[in-house]
Amino acid sequence: MPEVAQSQLARGMRDLLPAEMRRVRRIEDAFTRTCLRWGYGEIRTPVIEPIHLFTAAGTLSPQTLDRVYSFLDWDGWSGERVVLRPDSTIPAARLYAERFPPGSVARLFYRQDIFRFAEDDSAREEWQCGVELMGETGRRGDIELIFLALDALAEAGAAGVVVRLSHAGIVRAVLAAAGMPAEAQAAAYDRLLDGDGKVVDEIEARLPQLNAPLRLLFDVDGAGSGYIANIRAALAAEIPGLTPALDELAAVVAALEARGVAPRISAALARRFEYYSGIVMRFERDGRRIGGGGRYDELIALVGGRRVPASGFALDIGALLDATAPGDDERAVRISVTAEADSPEMIAAAYDCAAELRRAGFAVDTIDEGRDGAPCVVCRPSRPRFVLRHGGSERAFEGAAELMAALEHVR
Amino acid sequence: MIRLALPTGDLRRDTAALLDAAGLGIEGYAAGSRALRFEMPDAGVARVFREKDIPAQVALGNYDAGICGLAWAEELAQRYPGLEVVRLRDLGYARSGLWLAVAGDTCEPSVRIVSEYGNIADTLARRMRLPRYRIFSLWGAAAAYPPEDADLAIVPATDAAGVEAQGLRPVCEVLASSAWLIANRRSLAQKDLSLLLSRLLDGRVPAPPSAPALVAPPALGLRAAERPPRTRLRLALPDGHAQSHTVAALEMAGLQVDGYGKEDLVRRPRIAFDAVEVKVIRPQDMPQQVAIGNFDLAVTGRDVLFDHKIQFPSSPVEEVVDLGRSRYGLAAIVKDVPADGVAGAVRWWRAQGRATIRVASEFPNIADHFARERHFGRYSVVPIAGASEGFVPDDAEILIEGIETGSSVRANKLTVLERFFESTNCVIANRRRPEGALRATFDALVERLRAGALVPAGAATEG
């Protein structure tokens, strides 16, 4: 048992042990393989970014901004703060604006961490696998991303994934119809993003002409095309601004249904992010969010580029660890190699033997001498050159080739 | 035993009256005694702090309750939302507000916001959705900054007229503040504070049920504009304790500055030197102001420059003249520690089971640097605003503090473990000198200031 009684781990932070890291790598590798097969290229953005990337209206919601880790850098005498990356999409948009020809289609993916303060013991560092598709791809881009996410999740071993869809235009249309001034609309939108349900009643009070309650939009867990048709029938006449958003949502839903995916529909999914402007997607398993994303057509312009439509998603590795089967232990078979005598020549011979076994795919230690039951190869100065001890028995080998053949049996 | 934190400064008189009326009168407190610790008969102990330090001391649990302006409690809460502080009651005096104020209709593309309440300023900047902003968290004199050195200021004032009297245009009151009784959440839950609470929460003063919240300002509608190039050299002079030393240096240098006397201090005094303008600000705020180019020269302390350079190692600020006055040293100070050096003291605290060594200082960056360099292991820096002698040994293990003659140290029965830095007042400048005609003015003014040095001014000394 560990000797340290009290952990010195910072609150909200997590160690990952070898067994957990093997699962993390399995998820990341599955994600990477999938993205590469779909023609995406990997990027990595810095952990530290200037705060102003995230503070402009249309980026993060106020509550999320209140939880960024911000500080003055060692050369921050100008008074402008920097942050530990609280989100990966905004840095990716910056990267695109600065490094790609404006308007070009860029297929990018990343595996990196984000940092957000939590008042309880929840994780403050989250590892994500994400994809960004920049350029004029229209709703085909949204459809591609949803199928790509499902492919990556299946490759990682996550079964029973539910796709939940929304459209940022639904909430915006409702707020506009409620006749709120622009500032009040923005504030109500932020409250919705931050999960304040009371705002629905306030909006509804401003829409006495509605034939159906707004709760139909915000409280009902809808299913596919049928639910979209119901919303259209109940609310679109009084809120005509809903129609374009519902049209787009219906087209994406129909494409998914045609391939046997049955998405759920929600009116407000884009928690914590203001930058979503079109289709918003969330991936769930057993009711738990394991990833999400959406279209953000205005974001690249907000971070200094030209207006370029874009869309993306990120999968939460922490949630996926719980959502995927442990899988086979992928460790290579471990072997000990040791020298019978402590002479420099014999130690060199043992290291040569170990190197050859590692090239053959074994995991080889040169210290343990098979103490935990692993096969142990003893290198000798005279014939026989090798002795293999395993399972209480010993076998002698004159040459490396014979030894290797025997070890293949062990494998 | 109840531990109560009481304010020095402006709140002292009214707080003393409140305590007297509540039957908790503390001898010497009202009179402004130099003592920092008082016995409260039958109740516990009271310790006097700068008002700004009280919320942190209550949050840390060093004190069960405290009295301070609500604005300082809010300032700490904005940075640390999970704070263990409960706002119990408006005590009905020291009513004032925090106001957002502007000086004009334009702002820099990265909006400059000044305030003593830096965390509140940061929150308001986010609430206003300013796309780009800079916060200058000041020691004081925020109202003096706009329009040349700031676009927005968050300043205390009783009403809009009070903001206008400071030469600013009020936008809105962002927080209605007054003196409040605050308490540590755990103390409230676990400790008998009934004697204190029954006396201070007796309904003598009608009070609203909950503390006012921060108000999000409206959109400001400021137009972004670059500053025009400067035609005059800018010199910053200090107020407070440093002022008399600076006045002496200026007199010796033959520099007349009208409006910089003890009795006639104004924020923009006039100097008898062509093409130079002067502003009076806090000396602690000067290095950053020089670093960003708001001022070409400033008179401050080498200790302040040292603190700035530790926070920003590549800052372009340097010392150009040692004025040789206001001489004192920075020292590591303890009380009742049987050790004659810092290493021995650290070993002693560890042997006593102290997991975290608390280092209190008005120079948080220097304190942090000191603790790192001396391998303190696990430590925390407690930034303080003053009344420092009372911090050890109860509220901190060690104090990083300026000492002059040592009389205050002896009077408080403190021990100097190590004197590690010598400070005098000095003239600082940006390594990037002004260009064109301003360069000649810069050189001429530095030469004149050099004539005000008490000691022959040699090469600039690094902090």
Q: What is the pLDDT of residues B359-395, one digit of tens each?
A: 999 999 999 999 999 999 999 999 998 888 889 998 9
Per-residue pLDDT band for A334 (boundaries 50, 70, 90) equals confident
Mean pLDDT of the residues in chain B = 92
Contact A79 B130 (CB under 8 A): no
Could you say which of A56, A72, A80 has the minimum Cβ distance to residue B110?
A80
Q: Which of A56, A66, A76 sits opposite B131 (nearest CB)?
A: A56
Helices vs. strands in chain A: H and E counts, helices first: 15, 17
Q: Where are the beta strands (DSSP E) in A135-269?
A: 162-167, 222-223, 264-265
List the single residue in A55, A81, A119 with the smallest CB-CB distance to B131. Answer: A55
Mean pLDDT of B250-266: 94
| B132 to chain A: closest CA residue | A52
Share of chain A above pLDDT 70, in %: 96
CA-to-CA distance for B356 and B274, rounded, in angstroms? 55
Q: Is the pLDDT of residue B198 over 70?
A: yes
Closest-CA residue of chain A to B137? A79
Establish, for the pair of chains A and B, how many residue pairs have beta carbons separated by less than 8 Å.
Answer: 62
Pick the CATH number of A18-323 from 3.20.20.70, 2.40.50.140, 3.30.930.10, 3.40.50.170: 3.30.930.10
CA distance B329 to A257: 76
Neighbours of A401 (CB within 10 A): 9
Q: Which residue does chain A place closest to B365, by CA atoms?
A: A74
A55–B314 CB contact, under 8 Å: no
From chain A residues 359-398, the ones with a CB under 8 A of any chain B CB are none
What Å distances lie between residue B331 and A164, A200, B178, B300, B303, CA to CA? 62, 60, 36, 19, 11
Record: contact A75-B132, CB cut-off 8 A: no
Q: Which residue has the tokens 């205390």?
A: B156
CA–CA separation, B22 and B271 (whole Å): 52
Instruction: Say if residue A323's pLDDT is above 80.
Output: no
- CA-to-CA distance for A337 and A209, rounded, in angstroms? 82
Most confident of B32-41, B79-88, B300-309: B300-309
CB distance B267 to B141 below 8 Å: yes
Question: Which pLDDT score, from 0 to 100, does residue A332 have?
Answer: 65
A72 lies within 8 A of chain B by CB: yes
| Best CA proximity match to A315, nearest among A47, A27, A116, A49 | A27
What are the pLDDT digits (tens) for A260-296? 999 999 887 766 678 888 999 999 999 899 999 999 9
pLDDT in the model for residue B267: 96
- Residue B174 burial (CB count, 10 A): 25
Measured between alpha carbons, how far is residue A182 from residues A61, A75, A108, A175, B105 in Å? Answer: 16, 38, 34, 9, 22
The CATH T-level fold of domain B328-423 is D-Maltodextrin-Binding Protein; domain 2 (3.40.190)
- Please name the residue of chain A whose CA is at the shortest distance from the CA of residue B113: A79
Considering only alpha carbons, which residue of chain B is nearest residue A56?
B131
Asked if A79 has any chain B CB less than 8 Å from its own CB, the reply is yes
What is the DSSP pairing of strand B379-383 with strand B357-361? parallel
DSSP output for A286-340: TTEEEEEEEE-TTHHHHTTS----EEEEEEEHHHHHHHS------PPPEEEEEES
Q: According to CATH, what is the number of the domain A334-410?
A: 3.40.50.800
CATH of segment(s) B233-327+424-450: 3.40.190.10
**A contacts of B428 (beta carbons < 8 Å):** none
Angle formed at CA B383 by CA B379 and CA B389, multiple of 5 degrees: 95
B152, B112 Cβ separation under 8 angstroms: yes
Given a cut of 60, whether residue B280 has pLDDT beyond it is yes
Rounded Cα gap, residues A335 and A406, in angstroms: 12
Q: What confidence tier does B462 reach under pLDDT thresholds 50, 70, 90? A: very low
Min Cα separation B239/chain A (Å): 22
Which positions in chain B touch A119 (Cβ < 8 Å)?
81-82
- Give dist(CA A67, CA A122) in Å, integer: 13
Q: Is A81 on the interface with B (CB under 8 A)?
A: yes
Residue of A nearest to B126 (CA): A55
Q: What is the CATH number of domain B96-176?
A: 3.40.190.10
User: Which member of A55, A77, A186 has the closest CB to residue B288?
Assistant: A77
Note whether A71 contacts B: Cβ–Cβ < 8 A: no
Q: Which residues of A touch B135 (CB under 8 A)?
A: 79, 81
Q: What's the confidence (pLDDT) of residue A82?
A: 94
Query: What is the per-residue pLDDT for A328?
Result: 57
- ipTM > 0.95 for the complex: no
Q: Is B297 exposed, middle or buried (0-12, 13-18, 19+ CB in 10 A)?
A: buried
Residue in chain A nearest B217 by alpha carbon:
A183
Predicted pLDDT at B208: 65
Q: Encode burial over B350-371: b for 16+ CB neighbours within 10 A, e otherwise.
A: eeeeeeebbbbbbbbbbbbbbb
CA distance A117 to chain B (A): 10
CATH 3.40.50.800 residue ranges of chain A are 334-410
Rounded to a whole number of angstroms, the distance between the first and last alpha carbons of chain A is 31
Q: Who has greater pLDDT, B340 or A211?
A: B340
Q: Which has more confidence, B201 or A3? A: B201
What pLDDT is recorded for position B463? 34
- Amino acid sitting at position B428: I
| CA dist list (Å): A384 to A342, A366, A399, B91 | 17, 20, 8, 92
Residues of chain A with CATH 3.30.930.10: 18-323
Residue B371 near residue B357, CB atoms below 8 Å:
yes
pLDDT in tens, A297-308: 999 999 989 999
Mean pLDDT of chain A: 89
pLDDT at B428: 98
Q: Which range has the top average pLDDT, A38-47, A77-86, B127-136, B371-380?
A: A38-47
What three-state secondary structure class fits A204? helix
CB contact under 8 A, B136 and A79: yes
Kindly list the residues from chain B whose CB atom is less than 8 angstroms away from the CB atom of residue A189. Answer: none
**Contact across the interface for A55 and B219, Cβ inside 8 Å:** no
| Cβ pair A72:B81 closer than 8 A | no
Q: What angle do CA B173, B179, B183 make, to 5 degrees?
A: 115
Q: Quick check: B133 pLDDT over 80?
A: yes
> Which of A52, A119, A183 lies closest to B81 in CB terms?
A119
Domain borders along chain B are 2-94+178-200, 96-176, 233-327+424-450, 328-423
Residue B225 has pLDDT above 60, yes or no: yes
Global pTM value: 0.85
Find all residues with CB under 8 Å of A398, minimum gap 6, and list them: A383, A384, A385, A386
Residue predicted with more confidence, B67 or B455: B67
* pLDDT band at residue B459 using 50, 70 and 90 as cut-offs: very low
Q: Which of A62, A245, A85 is nearest to A165 (CA)?
A: A245
pLDDT at A152: 97
pLDDT exceeds cutoff 80 at B461: no
User: Regarding the domain delimited by B2-94+178-200, which CATH topology (the fold level of the hierarchy) does it fall under?
Assistant: D-Maltodextrin-Binding Protein; domain 2 (3.40.190)
Which of A331-340, B64-73, B259-268, B321-330 is the least confident region? A331-340
pLDDT of the residue at B82: 83
| Candidates A66, A119, A186; nearest CB to B126 | A66
pLDDT tens figures, A340-383: 988 999 999 999 999 999 998 889 999 888 888 889 999 998 88
Evaluate whether B233-327+424-450 and B328-423 have a shared fold.
yes
Q: How would residue B24 be classed by pLDDT, with cut points 50, 70 and 90?
A: confident
